[in-house]
Chain A
Amino acid sequence: MCLGVPGKLVEIYKSGGLLMGKVDFGGVSREACLEYEPEARVGDYVVIHVGFAISLLSEQEAAKTLEVLREISDIQAELGVEPGEVRA
């Protein structure tokens, strides 16, 4: 139930007085309520949880996380650390 899934917002509309949208999860499209992420725009990625957008994903922050891990990887490569053997 806590398994929020990121999807791409492809359509925004009002329905039953609520701000709603269509969200694409890699080819599967579902309706979601956008009342808690009213700033989301078509093309944005949102975390959907039991039919509600609860978080608008930040591309900048995502890139930052990956960047930190890639730097670790680069430093290890320079030091000649093998990535495979991780368990004693």
Chain B
Amino acid sequence: MKYVAEFRDAELVKRSAQQIRREVTRPWTLMEICGGQTHAILRYGIDELLPTEIELVHGPGCPVCVTPLEQIDKALALASLPNVIFASYGDMLRVPGSGRDLFSVRAAGGDVRVVYSPLDAVTMARENPDTEVVFFAIGFETTAPANAMSVYQAATLGLKNFSVLVSHVRVPPAMHAILGGEHNRVQGFLAAGHVCAVMGYWEYPPIAEQYRTPIAVTGFEPLDLLRGVLDAVRLLEAGVVKVVNSYGRAVTYEGNRPAQELIKKVFLECDRKWRGIGNIPMSGWGLRPEYAQFDAERRFDVSAIRSEESPICVAGQILQGQLKPPQCPAFGTLCTPQHPLGATMVSSEGACAAYFHYNKAALLSEVSNG
């Protein structure tokens, strides 16, 4: 068992899609939460394999897409400061702020460094004691354990030159916001498998119950995605509202307890603005007061920055499943991965980037066929 090839078996993929087709009797709209799943769906053509009754709409689970513009602009300001090393996950470098991105700050002389793990940023702080190291701690529940550990480790080591610009978001409040929204079309969720690997899925049954919406915890390989769709369709067809685990090899109900404990030790739930969507109450994590000394927003004055979003970009509606990328007039013309207007056109998780990379030919032929 290598846990990858087995879950891409072409024959089983076809058979699973066939089974969904046999069991579906009515149209259903499902949302996959995670942008990683959106990319896998388009990359493997899962949307093409499914019967026409099933529509997959793409959720807000793209961390670089929902990191608010104000935080990006603060990152740009911090990265431009002398004597600062600004450490970030690579995905963030091309995300447009108000007029520029971290790449252009680096080109202008800012010390912007890409890290694979947040612990790399801690190492940078140890090795450069006379320089301030700021790490851009963004993401969902999947990066939270790693980001929390970087702060905890910096505290343990007594580092005075390490701080974090925090912009953490959590999935369950976003599910509430989507299901409770006046334009909601989602009838079933494919929950994000790796978020659940960390957090478990004990937070989800009350959501399913409140909105009468079944939820299937779903993985990322083609067979995982089809299994999640099949389980969700079975629940919907039977009129059963519950949460099922379709990604048993990586997810347990309780989740990863040591990770949850360290997240709780370092972070505190707080209100958070989501780019394109707006404020969602208690949808984020910020540093606990005990760790305030590691808060870059307190250490540096970056409060008086004016942020301005592109007036053309419809990323907010795309992140909530209300529009699909090709419905945006700027898609593929004014807005491309090389020159993105919105963050959804960047990164390995943005829905617009996924459509651009995997679906462009199909879209062009649809357009030319009228």
Contacts and interface: CB of A to CB of B under 8 A. Distances in A.
B52 A88 contact: yes
Given A35-B258, A54-B198, A83-B11, A88 B51 contact: yes
B117 A86 contact: no
A2 interface: yes
B227 A18 contact: no
Interface string A29-62: 0111101111000000101011110110111011
Contacts of B51: 86-88
Interface string B95-119: 0000000000000000000001111
Interface residues of B, number: 65
Contacts of B223: 65-66, 69
> What secondary structure prevails in chain B residues at the interface with A?
helix
B259 A54 contact: yes
A14 interface: no
A33 B149 contact: yes
Q: Which residue, B15, B18, B156, B194, has most C-beta atoms of chain A within 10 A?
A: B15
Interface residues of A, number: 47
Contacts of B227: 65, 68-69
Interface string A54-88: 11011101111110111011001000011110111
A6 B259 contact: no
A61 B142 contact: no
A4 B15 contact: no
Interface in B216-244: 220, 223-224, 227
Contacts of A59: 1, 249
Nearest to B231: A68
Interface of A: 1-4, 6, 16-18, 26, 30-33, 35-38, 45, 47, 49-52, 54-55, 57-59, 61-66, 68-70, 72-73, 76, 81-84, 86-88
A81 B18 CA distance: 8
A54 B153 contact: no
Interface string B47-91: 011111000000001011000000000000000000000000101
Contacts of A61: 248-249
Contacts of B52: 87-88
Given A2-B36, A69-B16, A52 B3 contact: no
A49 B156 contact: no
A86 to B, nearest CB: 5
A1 B142 contact: yes
A58 B156 CA distance: 33
Contacts of A30: 116
A51 B120 contact: yes
B155 interface: no
Contacts of B224: 65
A51 to B, nearest CB: 2
Given A2-B63, A36-B259, 8 more contacts: A1-B349, A16-B157, A18-B153, A50-B142, A62-B3, A72-B19, A81-B22, A86-B50
Contacts of B93: none
B22 to A, nearest CB: 8
Contact of B64 (A1, A50, A64, A88): A1
B268 interface: no
Contacts of B140: 1-2
Contacts of B12: 66, 69-70, 73
A45 B117 contact: no
B52 to A, nearest CB: 6
B42 interface: no
